[in-house]
């Protein structure tokens, strides 16, 4: 930060010096209002026709435009959801007062991400969805990020109230690494923990201008990752969005008290944007979310076998080896028979009896539920700010910072409590008319985040080591059996004996021991000491002087610094791991047949220092059948290098060791000279094989049309083919070098490329219909199917065959069109959920979100009454994640119209 | 037209909302399903005993034992293997009537019955051991005083076995087997299987025909301490041994005829004739580290390791043993002829005592 300050000073000085230079010009002032409500319109664009000079109205609807142009001139005034209006200015003294007429249009949004150049959404050559801030204002969802859920073809996994992970076209998970999320031009994946953090840290809701979602493969423009979509979230420019705005949202959750008592939900946000001069503007913002989170309380029994397993019957009282899905500490299991054999060696008169018992009597330690071991309060605090300075007519420099901290719960290979988790993103950006240059860094600090499974297992060891607990259990079990008690009762008697002294959840003793364990770094405790960072520079240039084709080039360089003090990665204190990656891309576009056909070809080359370089091409064709009807075809490729964790993780998770694919880790554990075996088939030895980047190739055909400006229809179909799918598998290493039950066995979860090719295909269709009086009705349906899955292949496809959304809404009805409402019904089919944490059938579910709103144009405010999961009908988006019920809220947002 | 549209719109909207509300309810999320242990079916031990005329003595015994019973025959969820003596078994063991049972001390009746129960297992005949050594299982009988000196968890042991199609509880033949009941299995012994009350040391000490062997044990133990003393082993409740104890007559036969017992004892203690180690070896050669009732010995003469180990024979120097259906014999490897078990199956807490008519010679 210290280095940045002189630069800011230079910008201020430049600002002061240039004011004098523009003094000999005319200034046009005016006000823009809504023709129906008579309220002023802020952020309306006022541009002198035929030039690039323009400005935006401030938060009072006023504008002031200084120009050297001679009179008369024409101003073109536009604002989102209003018809364009032109006004002729003949005198410099003329006070301009313009009223814009509201409109509701379909298909007129402008999207950028599809080709990295602005284009009407109707003319996007690949499937894309966009949500603008007008929709965010009236949405039923409690946060803008939740709106992604209702987009076509999207699956969202909710790890907690604030931790949502979207994906398209399959392969979703909690903390997906196959979807790129780019917030204000920055990749917001946490460098160490590898999940995208937009839902917890990033732009505040009041500062989001829009977001776009590219479905499917999109590496050709955005680099490694993006196998299953790219989300781009764009903030509000302080030159355009000015003034103080704030939003107070208060709600309630847990109304039926099935998980916990009814609790409040708070979301407060504030933003202040100020255009200080024509050259300098700044913004600051903050947001606080506080709630009692949904609780993951799946008490079903899980038969775990390394990273695989299945849901089985049984409860703590009816299965001595019970391992509850959301119960932790009970992953520790031992074959009681071996303990009994040791007891029998001491008491030979028991030996023959012990010999009549089964050779395997698995017994797990008594666990604690998630509710008992996590901080159930979700707190999420974000603060951000930016300085924008126009260096010339078309060059804008900006320096921005985003910082957030929060408590939430996340699902990886196990459940993690993210506590005091902090991420900062800091960016310097220079944007010209046809180019940009950007440098940014992501600074991650896992805070007091800890692995719930490992922490609770070690907590159990802390209050009574298993070396004491199991012998006590064994003795009590024998005594109960020899008192004629039936087996299960004997187990329960033995558990009660061994559990004597077990701290009650929430007791002082519990808290003291638990805190002690969770604050100790792995492997002594459960704490992740992650302080990993990312540094990236990137740039892009569009050649405007080439007439024949449109050519654009760009490139980036990034450096990851993985720093976990050995608690997560194979780094050492003071010796972080460095991973460098660079890439370059070019896109060429050509319109043919009188602009009827537009072709683009793009290609991107990326190189990660630990892997061979990858080239990913993309070809698109857009055929304009009519002005508002287009057929699109694309051939896209995407790939991803193994994530940082998949490369360098070195984490004992209690049930085994998660190991990255880098050879240094294999060497560290002697897995090269003593290769592990497949635990399911001990005749198969798993030798080191370098892991290759995963890739997908897809073809898509789509059609989008706007019929009579009233009906917008979009349909698409695609096929995708995945190769070198990066997956994990279990491995067991024997100290003896060969499978030997008496040898010491060490379990690993290793990263491998799955053999063979996996194919997916799918389709989607949406229709939005504009009814009279601003009513809109819309619906979409989409399907993704996995095909040709090789035998024994774990795909983690995690996607329903069918999902659908239906919505009805109105952006303005009633007196002066001040009322609005929105109702969305969503449904998705059941499917088999597979993850390293848990696998099993995920039931189908419905969800209804609804909101009604009233606008107050005078104070540019909106009051909204909203509900997600209106019927409070609980569902879960992934096994092991919380079941979510209704959230009902009322919000007041000031200066947002 | 406008009104018509309004009406249509309202109806449509209401219908859409109603439909959403109807379909918007999710099924309850799956809950944990308890495992249900198999429900015991059929009659309990108590049911069988109470409803069977030939168990009337047993019924009376159970009533007489009262709270001294360490098992609950009417607990349908419990797991027992019960050697349930019928009336004839009582009679065969010298208890001719319920009156006699009712006259016995309740604690004694309870101890006898407790010894007939192996808890925690449903041991059917198919799972009984048919090879030597046989299964060493714990009954419900916990000896009272001096239980303080007994290891924790030690209950009196019972040794079910199957030999040549015959089934035994210790040395008592079982005449009917495998009556499966809700709380286990019932077998009917031909007589009461009497619980032990003293150690092998105590058994030897109380038998006047074994005094010379007792003297040999004392000689063998000279200079030894703790559990290195064979005498201590024979007195250690958790030990599991068989002692083939030569009768006094057998020991006398090793000396010139007419040698007084006092002289024999003196000679045994005279290093010029017998070192302590020699006697120790000799005694150990008469001991097995497992429990062998005569019926458990092999049907064809076979070697069984004794506690006498040599550096070259760490498993123990063998004797050759046989049970031919009526008589048990054992032969030392240096003996010309086999010894006969003349008084066998005297059961102690920690072993069984079989008196034999020759000294076994290892060399």
pLDDT confidence bin for B317, thresholds 50/70/90? very high
In whole angstroms, give the CA distance from residue A610 to residue A623. Answer: 41
* Close Cβ partners of B331 (under 8 Å, ≥ 6 residues apart): B301, B319, B320, B321, B337, B338, B339, B360
* A874/B138 Cβ within 8 A: no
* d(C-alpha A279, C-alpha A21), whole Å: 13
Tens-place pLDDT, residues A777-824? 999 999 999 887 776 667 788 999 999 999 999 888 888 889 999 999
114-133 of B, contacting A, C-beta below 8 A: 117, 119-121, 123, 127
Of residues A651, A687, A695, A703, the one with CA closest to residue A836: A651
- Facing residue for B32 by CB, picked from A299, A870, A871: A299
Minimal Cα distance from A881: which residue of B? B29
- Which of A294, A318, A348, A349 to probe the B interface (max B CBs under 10 A)? A349
Residue of chain B minimizing CA distance to A846: B24
pLDDT for A102 beyond 90? no
Task: Check residue A372 and report its DSSP letter.
Answer: H
In angstroms, the separation between the Cα of residue A282 and the nearest Cα of chain B is 45
Q: Does the pLDDT at position B300 exceed 60?
A: yes
Residues in A closer than 8 angstroms to B156, CB to CB, are none
* Residue B24 to residue A885: CA distance in whole angstroms: 12
Are B50 and B154 in contact, with CB atoms under 8 Å apart?
no
The answer to whether residue A415 scores a pLDDT higher than 90 is: no
pLDDT digits (tens, 9 = 90+) for A698-726: 999 999 999 988 899 999 999 999 888 88
Give start and end residues of each alpha helix (H) in B221-336.
230-235, 248-252, 261-268, 276-284
Per the listing, tokens 């490139």 go with A555
CB contact under 8 A, B136 and A352: yes
Is B2 in CB contact (< 8 Å) with chain A?
no
CA dihedral sign of residues B203, B209, B211, B213 = negative
- Closest chain B C-alpha to A293 CA, distance in angstroms: 18
A chain contacts of residue B9, beta-carbon cutoff 8 Å: 771, 775
Question: If you measure CA to CA, which chain A residue comes closest to B240?
Answer: A349
Which chain A residue's Cα is nearest to B22? A871
Chain CA centroid to CA A672, Å? 36
Q: How many CB pairs under 8 A join A and B?
A: 140
Question: In which band, very low, low, confident or very high, does the pLDDT at B52 lie, cut at 50, 70 and 90?
Answer: very high
C-beta separation of B299 from B275 below 8 A = no
What Å distances lie between residue A16 and A23, A275, A429, A430, CA to CA? 12, 14, 21, 20
* Residue/partner pairs of B340-343 with CB below 8 Å, 24 or more apart: B341/B244, B341/B294, B342/B247, B343/B209, B343/B247
Per the CB < 8 Å rule, is B35 touching A314? Answer: yes
The DSSP line for A445-496 is: E-TT-EEHHHHHHHHHHHHS-HHHHHHHHHHHHHHHHTTT--HHHHHHHHHH
**Given the DSSP bridges, would you call strands A26-34 and A95-100 parallel, antiparallel or unpaired?**
parallel
The closest CB to that of A349, out of B9, B21, B136, belongs to B136
Say if B227 is an interface residue toward chain A (CB within 8 Å).
no
> Are residues A320 and A488 in contact, defined by beta-carbon separation less than 8 angstroms?
yes
- In the block, residue with structure tokens 């009807």: A629
C-alpha distances out from residue A381 to A247, A450, A454, A635, Å: 14, 19, 27, 41
User: Is residue A175's pLDDT more than 80?
Assistant: no
Spatial separation of the C-alpha atoms in residues B124 and A356, rounded to whole Å:
12
B22 at A interface, C-beta within 8 A: no
What is the mean predicted confidence (pLDDT) over A456-477? 96
pTM confidence score = 0.88
Average per-residue pLDDT in chain B? Answer: 90
A-facing residues of B in 232-271 (CB < 8 A) are 238, 240
- How far is the CA of A650 from the CAs of A47, A276, A298, A728, B76, in angstroms? 57, 51, 28, 14, 53
Give the Cα separation of A561 and A563 in Å (integer).
6
Output the pLDDT for position A19: 43
**Minimal CA separation from A481 to chain B, in Å:** 5
Q: Higher pLDDT residue, B313 or B92? A: B92
Q: Tell me: pLDDT of A325 over 90.
A: yes
- A356 and B127 within 8 Å at the Cβ level: the answer is yes
- Closest Cα partner for A426 from A208, A664, A188? A188
Yes or no, beta carbons of A484 and B138 under 8 Å apart:
no
Q: Would the CB atoms of A871 and B117 count as touching at under 8 Å?
A: no
> What order do you get walking across the sheet with A73-78 strand by strand?
A54-56, A45-48, A73-78, A85-89
User: Residue A586: what pLDDT?
Assistant: 92
CB-based contacts of A440: which residues, under 8 Å, 6+ apart?
Answer: A185, A186, A425, A426, A427, A428, A429, A535, A536
- CB-CB under 8 Å, A318 with B23: no
**Closest to B287 measured CA to CA, from B252, B326, B332:** B332
Residue B360 has pLDDT above 70, yes or no: yes
Smallest Cβ–Cβ distance between B34 and the set A318, A348, A883 belongs to A318
3-state secondary structure of A420: strand
In this complex, do B71 and A484 lie within 8 Å of one another by their Cβ atoms? yes
What is the Cα A753 distance to its own chain's centre? Answer: 24
Partners of A481 on chain B (C-beta within 8 Å) are: 79, 119-120
d(CA B249, CA A656): 69
- For A401, phi and psi rounded to 5 degrees? -140, 140
Report how far residue A303's alpha carbon sits from residue A312's, in angstroms, rounded to the nearest whole number.
6
Q: Which of B32, B41, B116 should be substituted to probe chain A, the one whose Cβ sees the most A Cβ atoms within 10 Å? A: B32
- Enumerate the β-bridge partners of residue A181: A231
For helices B211-220 and B261-268, angle between their N-to-C axes, nearest 10 degrees: 20
- Other CB atoms within a 10 A radius of the CB of residue B115 amount to 24
The shortest CB-CB distance from B35 to any of A318, A324, A775 is to: A318
pLDDT in tens, B157-180: 999 999 888 999 999 999 999 999
Closest partner residue to A486 among B31, B79, B123, by Cβ? Answer: B79
Nearest alpha-carbon partner for A878 in A846, A826, A843: A843
CB atoms under 10 Å from CB of B287, counted, come to 22
Q: Do B31 and A806 touch (CB under 8 A)?
A: no
- The torsion angles phi and psi of A182, rounded to 5 degrees, stand at -120, 110
What region does A737 belong to: left with phi over 0, alpha with psi -120 to 50, or beta?
A: left
User: With bands split at pLDDT 50, 70 and 90, how would you rate the model's confidence at A15?
Assistant: very low
pLDDT exceeds 70 at position A23: no
Distance from CA of A151 to the nearest CA of B (A): 18
Q: Which residues of A touch B27 (CB under 8 A)?
A: 843
CB contact under 8 A, A315 and B16: no
Q: Is A181 helix (H, G, I), strand (E, B) or coil?
A: strand
Check CB contact under 8 Å for A875 and B5. no
Cβ–Cβ below 8 Å for B24 and A349:
no
List the structure tokens of A261: 């008592």
CA pseudo-torsion sign B172, B175, B179, B181: negative
Distance from CA of B302 to the nearest CA of A (A): 23
Nearest Cα to Cα of residue B233 among B287, B270, B197, B162: B287
Instruction: Tell me the C-alpha distance between A147 and A135, whole Å.
Output: 9
Q: Does the pLDDT at position B147 exceed 60?
A: no
- Residue B305: its H or E element: strand B302-305
% of chain A surpassing 70 pLDDT: 96
What span, in angstroms and rounded, lies between the C-alpha atoms of B249 and B257?
A: 10
Nearest residue in chain B measured CA to CA from A840: B30
Peptide bond into A72 cis (omega under 30): yes
Interface of B with A in 73-112 (CB under 8 A): 75, 77-80
Q: Stretch A558-587: mean pLDDT, rounded? A: 90
Least confident of A78-87, A440-449, A464-473, A775-784: A78-87
Write the DSSP string, B228-243.
GSHHHHHH-TT--EEE
Record the tokens describing residue B57, joined without a space: 């003595």
* Measured CA distances, B141 to B119, B191, B258 (Å): 10, 18, 46
**Binning pLDDT at 50, 70 and 90, where does residue B144 land?**
low
Residue in chain B lying closest to A876 (CA): B29
- Quick one: pLDDT at residue A667? 92
| Alpha-carbon gap: B96 to the closest alpha carbon of chain A (Å) | 30
Report ipTM for this prediction: 0.90
CA quadruple B341, B346, B347, B351: dihedral positive or negative? negative
């Amino acid at each position: 930060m210290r280095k940045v300050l002189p630069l800011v000073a230079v910008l201020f000085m430049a600002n002061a010096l240039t004011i004098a230079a523009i003094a000999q010009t005319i200034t046009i002032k005016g006000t823009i209002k809504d023709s129906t409500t008579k309220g002023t319109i802020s952020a309306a664009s006022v541009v002198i026709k035929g030039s690039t000079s323009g400005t935006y109205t401030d938060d009072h609807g006023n504008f002031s435009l200084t120009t050297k142009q001679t009179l008369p001139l024409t101003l073109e005034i536009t604002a989102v959801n209003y018809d364009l209006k032109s006004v002729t200015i003949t005198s410099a003294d003329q006070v301009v007062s313009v009223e814009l007429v509201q409109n509701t249009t379909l298909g007129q949004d402008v999207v950028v991400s599809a080709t990295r150049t602005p284009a009407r959404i109707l003319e996007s050559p690949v499937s894309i969805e966009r949500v603008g801030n007008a929709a965010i204002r009236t949405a039923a969802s409690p946060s803008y990020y939740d709106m992604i859920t209702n987009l076509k073809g999207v699956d969202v996994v909710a790890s907690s109230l604030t931790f949502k992970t979207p994906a398209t076209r399959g392969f979703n998970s909690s903390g997906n690494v196959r979807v790129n999320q780019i917030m204000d031009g920055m990749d917001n994946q946490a460098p160490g923990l590898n999940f995208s953090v937009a839902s917890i840290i990033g732009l505040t809701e009041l500062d989001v201008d829009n977001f776009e979602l590219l479905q499917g493969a999109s590496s050709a423009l955005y680099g490694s990752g993006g196998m299953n979509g790219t989300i781009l979230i764009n903030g509000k420019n302080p030159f355009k969005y000015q003034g103080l705005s704030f939003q107070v949202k208060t709600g309630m959750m847990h109304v039926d008290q099935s998980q916990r008592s009814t609790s409040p939900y708070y979301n407060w946000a504030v933003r202040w944007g100020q255009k200080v001069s024509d050259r300098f503007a700044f913004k600051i913002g903050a947001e606080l979310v506080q709630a009692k989170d949904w609780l993951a309380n799946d008490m079903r029994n899980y038969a775990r076998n390394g990273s695989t397993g299945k849901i089985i019957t049984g409860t703590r009282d009816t299965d001595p080896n019970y391992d509850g899905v959301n119960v932790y500490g009970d992953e520790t299991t031992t074959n009681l028979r071996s303990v009994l054999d040791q007891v029998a060696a001491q008491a030979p008169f028991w030996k023959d009896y012990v010999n009549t018992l089964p050779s395997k009597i698995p017994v797990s330690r008594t666990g604690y539920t998630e509710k008992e071991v996590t901080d159930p309060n979700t707190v999420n605090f974000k603060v951000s700010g930016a300085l924008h300075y126009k260096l010339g007519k078309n060059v804008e420099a900006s320096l921005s910072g985003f910082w957030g901290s929060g408590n939430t719960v996340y699902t990886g290979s196990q459940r993690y409590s993210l506590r005091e988790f902090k991420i900062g993103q800091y960016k310097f950006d220079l944007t010209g008319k046809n180019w940009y240059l950007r440098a940014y860094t992501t600074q991650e600090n896992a805070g007091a985040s800890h692995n719930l499974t490992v922490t609770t297992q070690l907590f159990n060891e802390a209050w009574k080591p298993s070396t004491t607990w199991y012998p006590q259990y064994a003795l009590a079990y024998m005594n109960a059996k020899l008192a004629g008690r039936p087996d299960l009762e004997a187990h329960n008697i033995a558990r009660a004996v061994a559990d004597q002294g077990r701290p009650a959840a929430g007791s002082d003793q519990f808290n003291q021991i638990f805190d002690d364990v969770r604050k100790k770094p792995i492997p002594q405790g459960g704490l992740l000491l992650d302080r990993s960072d990312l540094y990236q520079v990137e740039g892009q240039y569009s050649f405007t002087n080439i007439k024949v084709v449109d050519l654009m080039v760009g490139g980036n360089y990034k450096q990851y610094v993985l720093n976990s003090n050995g608690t997560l990665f194979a780094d050492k204190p003071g010796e972080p791991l460095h991973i460098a990656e660079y890439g370059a891309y070019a896109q060429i576009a050509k319109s043919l047949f009188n602009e009827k056909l537009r072709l683009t070809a793009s290609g991107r080359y990326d190189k990660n220092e630990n892997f061979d370089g990858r080239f990913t091409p993309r070809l698109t064709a857009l055929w304009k059948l009519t002005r508002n009807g287009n057929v699109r075809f694309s051939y896209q490729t995407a790939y991803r290098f193994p994530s940082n964790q998949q490369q360098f993780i070195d984490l004992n998770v209690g049930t085994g060791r998660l190991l990255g694919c880098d050879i240094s880790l294999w060497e560290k554990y002697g897995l090269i000279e003593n290769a592990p075996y497949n635990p399911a088939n001990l005749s198969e030895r798993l030798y080191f094989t370098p892991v290759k980047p995963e890739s997908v190739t897809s073809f898509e055909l789509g059609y989008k049309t706007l019929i009579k400006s009233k009906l917008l229809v979009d349909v698409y179909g695609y096929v995708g083919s995945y190769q070198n799918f990066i997956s994990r598998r279990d491995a067991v290493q024997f100290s003896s070098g060969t499978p030997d039950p008496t040898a010491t066995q060490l379990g690993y979860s290793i990263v491998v490329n799955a053999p063979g090719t996996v194919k997916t295909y799918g389709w989607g269709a949406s229709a939005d219909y504009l009814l009279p009086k601003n009513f809109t009705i819309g619906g979409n349906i989409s399907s993704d199917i996995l095909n040709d899955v090789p035998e024994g292949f774990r795909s983690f496809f995690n996607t329903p065959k069918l999902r659908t959304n239906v919505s009805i809404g109105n952006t303005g009805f009633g007196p002066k069109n001040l009322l609005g409402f929105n109702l969305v019904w969503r449904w998705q089919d059941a499917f088999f959920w597979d993850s390293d944490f848990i696998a099993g059938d995920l039931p189908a579910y419905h969800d209804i979100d609804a909101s009604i709103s009233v606008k107050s144009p005078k104070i540019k405010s909106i009051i909204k009454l909203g509900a997600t999961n209106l019927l409070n009908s609980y569902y879960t988006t992934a096994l092991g994640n919380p079941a979510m019920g209704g959230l009902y809220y009322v919000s007041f947002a000031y200066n947002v119209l | 037209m406008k009104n018509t549209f309004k009406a249509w719109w309202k109806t449509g909207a209401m219908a859409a909302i109603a439909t959403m509300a109807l379909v918007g309810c999710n099924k309850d999320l799956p809950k944990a399903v308890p495992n249900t242990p198999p429900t015991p079916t059929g009659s309990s031990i108590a049911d069988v005993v109470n409803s069977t005329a030939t168990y009337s003595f047993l019924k009376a015994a159970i009533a007489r034992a009262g709270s001294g019973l360490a098992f609950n025959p009417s607990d349908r969820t419990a797991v027992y293997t019960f050697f349930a003596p019928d009336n004839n078994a009582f009679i065969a063991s010298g208890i001719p009537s319920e009156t006699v049972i009712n006259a016995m001390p309740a604690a004694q009746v309870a101890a006898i019955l407790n010894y007939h129960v192996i808890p925690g297992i449903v041991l059917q005949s198919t799972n009984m051991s048919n090879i030597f050594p046989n299964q060493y299982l714990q009954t419900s009988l916990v000896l009272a005083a001096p239980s303080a000196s007994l290891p924790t968890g030690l209950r009196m042991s019972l040794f079910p076995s199957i030999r040549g199609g015959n089934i035994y509880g210790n040395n008592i033949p079982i005449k009917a087997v495998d009556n499966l009941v809700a709380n286990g299995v019932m077998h009917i012994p031909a007589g009461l299987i009497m619980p032990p009350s003293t150690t092998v040391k105590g058994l030897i000490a109380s038998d006047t025909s074994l005094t010379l062997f007792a003297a040999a044990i004392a000689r063998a133990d000279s200079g030894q301490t703790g559990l290195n003393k064979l005498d201590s082993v024979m007195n250690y409740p958790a030990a599991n041994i068989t002692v083939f104890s030569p009768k006094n007559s057998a020991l006398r036969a090793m000396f010139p005829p007419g040698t007084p017992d006092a002289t024999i004892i003196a000679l045994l203690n005279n290093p010029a004739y017998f070192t302590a180690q020699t006697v120790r070896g000799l005694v150990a050669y008469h001991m097995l580290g497992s429990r062998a009732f005569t019926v458990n010995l092999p049907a064809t003469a076979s070697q069984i390791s004794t506690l006498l180990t040599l550096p070259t024979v760490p498993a123990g120097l063998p004797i050759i043993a046989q049970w031919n259906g009526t008589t048990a014999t054992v032969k030392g490897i240096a003996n010309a002829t086999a010894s006969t078990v003349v008084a066998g199956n005297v059961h102690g807490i920690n072993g069984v005592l079989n008196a034999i008519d020759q000294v076994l010679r290892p060399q």
